[in-house]
Amino acid sequence: MDARTYRRKRKNRITLIVISSILGVMLIGISSVALYLWNGLRPAPTGEAVRVEVARGSSPGRVAETLEKEGIIRNSFIFKYYLRLKDEGPAFKAGAYELHPGMELDAIIAKLNSGDTLLEDTIRFTVPEGYTVTQMAERLAAQGLVDEERFLEVAASQTMLAASVSAGKITVSDQMNQLLEGYLFPETYELVKDSTEQDIITRMLTELDRKLQQLPEGWEDELETLGVSFHEMMTIASMIEREVVLPEERPVVAGIIYNRLQDNMMLQIDATVQYALGRQKDRLFESDLLIESPYNTYQQTGLPPGPIASPSLAAIEAALYPEDTEYFFYVTKKDGTSGHYFSVTYNEHLRNKRLSEANQ
């Protein structure tokens, strides 16, 4: 074998060794990467359920880091790219989840997408129709849900006027007893445990907005037709709530209130005197009717400066759609039916009063 042939064969062997070495290194590298990916994509070791918090506005990357920290996945870096590959992550819902180490990655993704969060501890309470702000504060404080003084303090703050559309329509006056009177909607509520007084009041204010959406379309136009503001309508609704028990009588009493307002007559509604007194009495005396208060409609012409209680949606609807009636007077029957006698003239009213007393 001549020298040239020997050198060529030697060069070929070296080239083959180099190529083989490179291929070997590449194969080892690919195998290492494949092993790294395989291990990172495997479910984490099984374990007890873990509560995992996904904060509002968290990026998919931040969620991945949280899952690795809690032991739900093995490798957040790989999981981030897995999410990109599958076009997942942006739809993850915020909240507290119960996740198990050992879950498949796709099962984790599906749960985060569905928003299958843990139910938070909640508080539940009912505010009856016709309650005042003071009564609400006392009731909720008795249930250990609020501090009574703090509740009243928040309810008196004008910053709460921005908490709902309806509250923004309140006609603020120095004569008002309670700023938000009539605007904290009576309903059964469920809120997250440890909700603050402001949280509770805000929820009740926004509930009124939601309830108003159930009224017939174009109900706002009725205000102009009736010649009242939204705040005045709510004041009328509150009086209807406190004065009337029978549903069919609400529009009738509403019509009487508007008739009296139009004729510039005193409304002479007992419920406003009860509110001015600050306590409920089984019977009002002549001396009670003399109390000096802008809420005493036996002494003041026109509407009080604001609602006297929280009206139901039915009372609000009656205030918006009063019955077109000729009546100007009404008196309770006192016969156990909770109904009223209605009359057009004062003489008829006096006869009905005598009939009412006879029933009693």
Q: Which residues touch 175 (CB under 8 Å, ≥6 apart)?
A: 294, 305
Task: Evaluate if residue 23 carries a pLDDT over 70.
Answer: no
> What residue ranges in the chain does DSSP mark as E strands?
50-54, 95-99, 122-126, 188-192, 329-332, 340-343
pLDDT band at 115 (very low <50, low <70, confident <90, very high): confident
pLDDT band at 25 (very low <50, low <70, confident <90, very high): low
pLDDT of residue 221: 95
Give the DSSP letter of residue 201.
H
Residue where the block lists tokens 């759609």 = 321
Residue where the block lists tokens 């931040």 = 62
Task: Evaluate if residue 263 carries a pLDDT over 80.
Answer: yes
Task: Evaluate if residue 15 carries a pLDDT over 80.
Answer: no
Taking a C-beta distance cutoff of 8 angstroms, is the pair 86, 113 a contact?
Answer: no
Nearest to 274 by CA among 310, 243, 247: 243
pTM for the model stands at 0.71
Taking a C-beta distance cutoff of 8 angstroms, is the pair 127, 183 a contact?
Answer: no
Per-residue pLDDT, averaged over 123-150, amounts to: 95
Task: Evaluate if residue 16 carries a pLDDT over 60.
Answer: no
Taking a C-beta distance cutoff of 8 angstroms, is the pair 164, 182 a contact?
Answer: no
Task: Evaluate if residue 9 carries a pLDDT over 80.
Answer: no
Task: Evaluate if residue 282 carries a pLDDT over 60.
Answer: yes
Q: Which of 61-70, 221-230, 233-242 has the lowest mean pLDDT?
A: 61-70
User: How buried is 198 (Cβ within 10 angstroms: 0-12 exposed, 13-18 middle, 19+ buried)?
Assistant: middle
pLDDT of residue 319: 97
Task: Evaluate if residue 32 carries a pLDDT over 90.
Answer: no
Summarize pLDDT for 301-352 with one digit per residue, the tens.
999 999 999 999 999 999 999 999 999 999 999 888 999 999 999 999 999 9
| Number of Cα atoms under 13 Å in the Cβ half of residue 136 | 32
pLDDT of residue 95: 85
pLDDT of residue 320: 97
Q: Which domains does the chain have, with CATH numbers?
A: 50-114 (3.30.1490.480), 122-212 (no CATH), 219-359 (no CATH)
pLDDT of residue 278: 86
Task: Evaluate if residue 98 carries a pLDDT over 60.
Answer: yes
pLDDT of residue 175: 94
User: How buried is 33 (Cβ within 10 angstroms: 0-12 exposed, 13-18 middle, 19+ buried)?
Assistant: exposed
pLDDT band at 7 (very low <50, low <70, confident <90, very high): low
Task: Evaluate if residue 31 carries a pLDDT over 60.
Answer: no
Give the CA radius of gyration of the chain. 36
User: How buried is 317 (Cβ within 10 angstroms: 0-12 exposed, 13-18 middle, 19+ buried)?
Assistant: buried
Summarize pLDDT for 175-229 with one digit per residue, the tens.
999 999 999 999 999 898 889 999 999 999 999 999 999 999 999 999 999 999 9
- How far is 298 from 260, CA to CA, in rounded Å? 13
Per-residue pLDDT, averaged over 223-246, amounts to: 96
pLDDT of residue 132: 96
Q: Which residues touch 222 (CB under 8 Å, ≥6 apart)?
A: 320, 321
- Is the dihedral angle over the CA atoms 182, 186, 192, 194 positive or is it negative? positive
Taking a C-beta distance cutoff of 8 angstroms, is the pair 293, 276 a contact?
Answer: yes
Distance between first and last Cα of the chain: 139
- How far is 80 from 100, CA to CA, in rounded Å? 19
pLDDT band at 234 (very low <50, low <70, confident <90, very high): very high
